[in-house]
Amino acid sequence: MNQNPKILSGTELSSAVFSKLSNRIVNLKNKSITPTLAVILVGENPASKVYVRNKTKRFEDLSLESKTILFDQDVSEAELINKISELNSDVNIHGILVQLPLPGHIDSEKILLSINPIKDVDGFHPYNLGHLAAGVPTFIPCTPKGIMRFFEHYDYELKGKHVVVVGRSNIVGRPISILTSLKKKYSDATTTICHSGSKNIYNYTKVADIIILAIGSPNFLKAEHIKNGAIVIDVGINRIIDSNGKPILVGDADFTSLKNKVEAITPVPGGVGPMTIAMLVENTVEAAEKLTKHS
């Protein structure tokens, strides 16, 4: 049993990311450029509103700009595409983010496709996802990119390790399964992707060196489902009611159960979440740099 597990703090690591970015931001500001993110938010989804507020607040803290463009729930696809097209041409906008999920009558795929890939700081455009799959990443989706930073920062070499990813979303599971198995430093793992169609997921987690959870199932993974000394990265953010009737946030990992058996684990909150936002800022700064070079 490992009695001194490492709690991988995303709050701490994201501060280090912001410090490192400050030079790049100053360089841009010296050229009168303020990295600016446009966020499209449709409807009244309370979770989406919280996510967007958290993201934009971080931009303000760093003296960067963000503009949130609100649309009613019944907005048409054409209206959204028109707005995105306007943002694509706007030289003062460097990153464009469409907060998901969109209402059912909107084809999300079509909307994402309308974003100019060079401003797609979320990395969800097939052009960027395809570059990732081809091993020549352009914009990497923020959550997977943030996860890789934990491995790099704490010097966890993945080469030859068995990574088990639980979840296959385009936002987390799919890209992190690709990223961890690329032929690159801090990657190069043998990676298994599990999902809703898998049988006996715990048979896979039990033999994994590193487990990445992204399914949104509270306390899905417990001590009996891992081997000693595994590393657990928890992307889940689930709102549940605790035994005192208080609403709390928990991950897909049962932190209390796992913490004495793991080599390292990310907490919820304060683990992957802050890194996702840090990578969004980093991608926006990168977009501003690229667009400046191209102009």
Choosing from 120, 122, 252, 254, the catalytic residue is 122
99 is catalytic: yes
Comparing CB distances to a second copy, the nearer of 173 and 273 is 173
Please state, as a whole number, how many other Cβ atoms lie within 10 Å of the Cβ of residue 93.
22
122 is catalytic: yes
Stretch that binds a second copy, among 15-23, 55-63, 70-78, 190-198 (CB under 8 A): 190-198
**Residue 14 in the binding site for a second copy (CB under 8 A):** no
174 touching a second copy, by CB under 8 A: yes
- Is 88:116 a contact under the CB 8 Å cutoff? yes
Residues 153-172 that bind a second copy (CB under 8 A): 159-160, 168, 170
Give the number of C-alpha atoms closer than 13 A to the C-alpha of residue 143, restricted to the C-beta side.
21
* 133 sits near a second copy (criterion: CB under 8 A): yes
Residues 114-126 as b or e (16 or more Cβ within 10 Å = b) = bbbbbbbbbbbbe
Q: How far apart are CA 259 and CA 222, in angstroms?
A: 10
140-161 per-residue burial string, b: 16 or more CB within 10 A, e: under 16: bbbbbbbbbbbbeeeebebeeb
Q: Of 71 and 127, which CB lies nearer to a second copy in the complex structure?
A: 127
If the CB atoms of residues 36 and 128 are measured against a second copy, the closer one turns out to be 128
β-bridge partners, 194: 166
- 9 near 267, Cβ under 8 Å? yes
Burial class (CB in 10 A: 0-12, 13-18, 19+), 232: buried
Q: Are strands 231-234 and 238-241 parallel, antiparallel or unpaired?
A: unpaired
Among 18, 71, 127, 202, binds a second copy (CB under 8 A): 127
Q: Which CB, 210 or 281, lies closer to a second copy?
A: 210
Tokens at 79, concatenated? 């209206």
Is 74 designated active site?
no
Regarding 114 and contact with a second copy (CB under 8 A), the answer is no
Stretch that binds a second copy, among 7-15, 55-63, 131-139, 264-272 (CB under 8 A): 131-139
- Identify the residue among 193, 279, 280, 285 touching a second copy (CB under 8 A): 193
- Residue 188 makes contact with a second copy by CB under 8 A: yes
Active-site residues: which are they? 55, 99, 122
Rule CB under 8 A: which residues touch a second copy? 109, 124-136, 159-160, 168, 170, 174-175, 177-178, 181-183, 188-199, 201, 204
